[in-house]
Amino acid sequence: MAYAGGLNSPSGRDSAPGPRFFFFAALSIVLMYFDQRDGWSERIRYVLQAAAYPIQVAVGSPRQLWVATHDLFESRGSLRAENAELQQRERQLAVTAMRFEALEQENARLRALTDSLPPLVKRSQLADVVNVDLGRQRLVIDKGDHNGLYRSQPVIDATGLVGQVVRLGPWSAEVLLITDPEHAVPVEVLRNGTQTIAVGSGDEAELRLPLLPATADVKAGDVIVTSGLGGVFPAGLPVGTVLEVVRDPDEILARVRVKPRATLAQDRQVIALWFNPGHPAAPVDPSLARDLPEAPLAQPVLKPPPPPVPAATAPAAAKPAPAPAAATPSPASAGQESR
C-alpha cells in the first residue's frame, strides 16, 4: 500500500494522501492515548524496542570501535602500571571488607537478631554499555528481559549509583541516569542522616539537592548516599559528594550542588542489582514492582512500599513538594542506621 500512489503521474494526486493521512494521524493519536494510559502499549514498545536494538548498537558502534582500538594499542607499560594500581586497591578493599564484615556482625547483634542478615545483594549482572545518549541522559545496555532485568531496577558501576532501568527490551534495556532532570533519588547525608532528594541537572557531572532548607546541616565534601525510601533504590549506595552549598539570605532553600560518584558518561560496564527482600536496606520486592502500570517518569514509579517506610516521603520522590522530605530524620525508616 506504500507504493500505491502513481509515481509516474505528474502530480501524485491520485495517491490520495488525504484519507491516508487521516488514517495514520488517527492511528498516532490512538497510540498516544494508550501510551498515556497504562500497560497496553507496553507490549508494542517491547517489540519495537527489540527492533530498535540493532540500530542502537550500530549507532553506538563508532564509539565502541574507538574504545576497542584504544585498548588494543595500549602500551605494556601503562598496563603494568594499571595492574599495580589495581592490586594495591584490591588490598585496600580487602582490608575494608574485613572491617565491614565485623561491623555487619556487630550491627546484627545490636539489632538483636538471632542470625546474621542475608546479604543485601542477591544477584548482580554485569552489562556492557552499547550506546550512551547524553542528550537524553540514558545508557543502552546489552542485557534485558531475558537476563531477568526488571523495570526500575537500580544500576550501579564500580564507584556508585548510575541510575535505573526505564525501558526493557528482550535483549537490551535503557538506563536513565541519575543526572536526568526528570530523575530524583531519595538520599541522605551520610554524616548526619539528613534526608532529602537528589534531582538531576541535565549535566552528567552534577546533581542538585533542591529541597534542603538554608539552615540544613550540609557542607562541601559531605558524602550523599541513597536513603532507601521511595522503594526503588536500596539504602546506603553512594550517590555523590557535595561540591558546594550556596546559602542566599533571600531564599528559604539552600542551593546544593553534588558531584556524582559514578563516572556516568564514561562507563563501559555497569552492574544491575537484585536484592534480598528480607534485608532491611532492600527496596520493595521486584515482583511487586513488575506488576505496576507504566507511570510517567515524573511520578513515583512504585506504590507506597511496605510498612517500615513512611508513606509520606514516597510521593515526594518526584514532584518537588516542599516540606516533608527535607529535614526530619524519619523515625523508623528501613535503611536508616544512624540511631
Partner 1 sequence: MFARRESALLVWITALIALMITVMPLPKILSVLWPNMLVLVVLYWSTMMPGAGGILIGFLGGLCLDVLTGSQLGQHALALSLLCYLAIRLHLLVRAKPLFEQALFVVLALLVYEGVLWAVDGFSAQGTGTWTRWVPVLTGAAVWPLIAGVLGRLHAPR
Task: Classify residue 93 as exposed, middle or buried by CB count within 10 Å of its CB (0-12, 13-18, 19+).
Answer: exposed
C-alpha distances out from residue 238 to 42, 105, 319, 339, Å = 32, 21, 23, 19
In the complex, what is the shortest distance from the CB of residue 302 to partner 1, in angstroms, rounded to a whole number? 20
Question: Considering beta carbons, is residue 12 or 322 the nearer one to partner 1?
Answer: 12
Measuring CA to CA, which residue among 126, 109, 107, 136 is closest to residue 236? 107
Residue closer to partner 1 by CB (options 60, 236) is 60
The DSSP bridge pattern shows strands 161-168 and 173-177 to be: antiparallel
- Between 139 and 237, CB nearer to partner 1: 139
Whether 137 and 149 have beta carbons less than 8 Å apart is answered as: no
C-alpha span between 165 and 180 (Å, rounded): 13
Distance from C-alpha of 41 to C-alpha of 54, rounded to nearest angstrom: 21
Q: Which amino acid is at 237?
A: L
Residue 149 Cβ, how far from partner 1 at the closest point, in Å? 17
Please give the grid coordinates belonging to residue 336.
Answer: 536508616
Spatial separation of the C-alpha atoms in residues 87 and 73, rounded to whole Å? 22
Q: How far is the CB of 105 from partner 1 (least distance, A)?
A: 44
**Shortest distance, position 55 Cβ to partner 1, whole Å:** 6
Q: Please name the residue ranges forming H helices in the chain.
A: 17-36, 40-72, 76-110, 286-290, 313-316
β-pair partners for 240 = 224, 260
Helix axes 17-36, 40-72, angle to 10 degrees: 90
Kind of pairing between the strands at 138-141 and 195-200: unpaired
Q: Toward partner 1, which CB reaches closer, 7 or 252?
A: 7
- Whose Cβ is closer to partner 1: residue 27's or residue 79's? 27
Grid coordinates belonging to 184: 530524583
* Shortest Å distance, C-beta 7 to partner 1: 4
Q: Name which of 133 and 145 has its Cβ closer to partner 1.
A: 133
Cα Rg of the chain (Å, integer): 24
**Least distance from partner 1 to the Cβ atom of residue 324, Å:** 23
Tell me the closest approach of the beta carbon of residue 203 to partner 1, in angstroms. Answer: 8
Q: Which is nearer to partner 1, 1 or 72 (CB)?
A: 1
Tell me how far, at minimum, the Cβ of 153 lies from partner 1, in Å.
17
The number of beta carbons lying within 10 Å of the beta carbon of residue 328 is 13
Nearer Cβ to partner 1, position 68 or 84? 68
Q: Where does this chain bind partner 1 (CB under 8 A)?
A: 1-9, 11-12, 15, 17-18, 20-21, 24-25, 27-32, 34-36, 41, 44-45, 48-49, 51-52, 55-56, 58-60, 63, 131-136, 138, 166-167, 174, 181-182, 203, 296, 298
Q: Of 164 and 194, which CB lies nearer to partner 1 in the complex structure?
A: 164
- Minimum distance between the CB of residue 17 and partner 1, rounded to whole angstroms? 4
